[in-house]
């Protein structure tokens, strides 16, 4: 039986693409990247920050991130989304799904996120990041440069995630067609003290987005 590691990197045909309003911004040019000790504010005068949304596959991480990004971009807030599938396919192409490779992927994404956030960009990171140690290493990177970092646990029972799964990953795992599905036959270490927990089995997408935005507003990272 072939192992596909963490199959969340697969994007089979028929998966709903994100809205066109969420796709722009890839050509962002950063200034001041050579001085990591001095985070800069955005054009709106708001500090940059990384918001890491961690959770099981199909818990709702990307859905929430892209919905919030669309709102903030409509208000001219500099916002980027580092989507897990895109990062795996580009930044971490060639990595497998051993613990070491998963941790390397998280550190690479964390580096890019901190670079963007340090330069005034609100950076949303819907990436599973299953291991607490790797997530804490990313947090420390941000603390070292004085850059804001928030951890959001997007939580849903695995059976709910399986019902939502448009990629069919959970079904394929049950059929023995893949292994290494996070939260099923590969570990997921839940955050012990996240800045916010979103229970997406009980909250709608709109409610989750409002809760996350309220947190950002409270921390001075976006307008009310």
pLDDT at residue 11 in the model? 38
Spatial separation of the C-alpha atoms in residues 196 and 95, rounded to whole Å: 30
pLDDT value at position 30? Answer: 39
Is residue 125 within 8 A of residue 109, CB to CB? The reply is yes
Question: Which residue matches tokens 């800045």?
Answer: 195
Number of C-beta neighbours around residue 147 at 10 A: 22
| d(C-alpha 215, C-alpha 148), whole Å | 13
The reply to whether 58 sits in an annotated binding site is yes
Q: What share of the chain is helix, strand, coil (3-state, %, to 5)?
A: 40, 15, 50
Q: Is 36 annotated as a binding residue?
A: no
CB 191 within 8 A of CB 171: no
Residues of the chain predicted below pLDDT 70 = 1-44
Which CATH class, in words, describes the domain spanning 43-218?
A: alpha beta
CA separation for the pair 71, 137 (Å, rounded): 30
Tell me whether residue 59 is annotated as binding: yes
Annotated binding residue 55: yes
32 is in an annotated binding site: no
pTM score, whole prediction: 0.81
* Helix segments in the chain, DSSP class H: 61-74, 84-89, 99-118, 132-145, 158-164, 169-174, 205-218
The Cβ of residue 13 has, within 10 Å, a number of other Cβ atoms equal to 4
Please give the angle made by the CA atoms of 54, 14 and 71, to the nearest 5 degrees: 50
In this prediction, residue 167 carries a pLDDT of: 87
145 among annotated binding-site residues? no
pLDDT of residue 34: 42
3-state secondary structure of 162: helix
Residue 212 is labelled as binding a ligand: no
Domain ranges of the chain: 43-218
């Amino acid at each position: 039986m072939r192992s596909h590691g963490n199959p969340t990197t697969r994007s089979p045909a028929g998966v709903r693409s994100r809205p066109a309003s969420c796709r722009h911004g890839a050509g962002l040019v950063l200034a001041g990247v050579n001085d990591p000790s001095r985070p800069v504010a955005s054009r709106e005068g708001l500090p940059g920050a990384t918001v890491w949304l961690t959770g099981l596959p199909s818990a709702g991480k990307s859905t929430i991130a892209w919905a919030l990004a669309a709102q903030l971009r409509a208000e001219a807030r500099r916002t980027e989304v580092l989507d897990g599938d895109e990062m795996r396919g580009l930044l971490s192409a060639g990595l497998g799904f051993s613990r070491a490779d998963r941790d390397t992927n998280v550190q690479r994404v964390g580096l890019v996120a901190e670079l963007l956030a340090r330069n005034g960009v609100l950076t949303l990171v819907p990436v599973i990041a299953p291991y607490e140690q790797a997530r804490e290493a990313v947090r420390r990177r941000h603390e070292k440069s004085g850059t804001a970092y928030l951890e959001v646990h997007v939580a849903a029972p695995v059976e709910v995630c399986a019902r939502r799964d448009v990629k069919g990953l959970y079904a394929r795992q049950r059929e023995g067609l893949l292994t290494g599905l996070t939260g099923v036959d590969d570990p997921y270490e839940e955050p012990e003290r996240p800045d916010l927990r979103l229970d997406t089995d009980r909250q709608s997408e709109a409610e989750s987005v409002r809760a996350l935005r309220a947190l950002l507003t409270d921390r001075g990272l976006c307008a009310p």
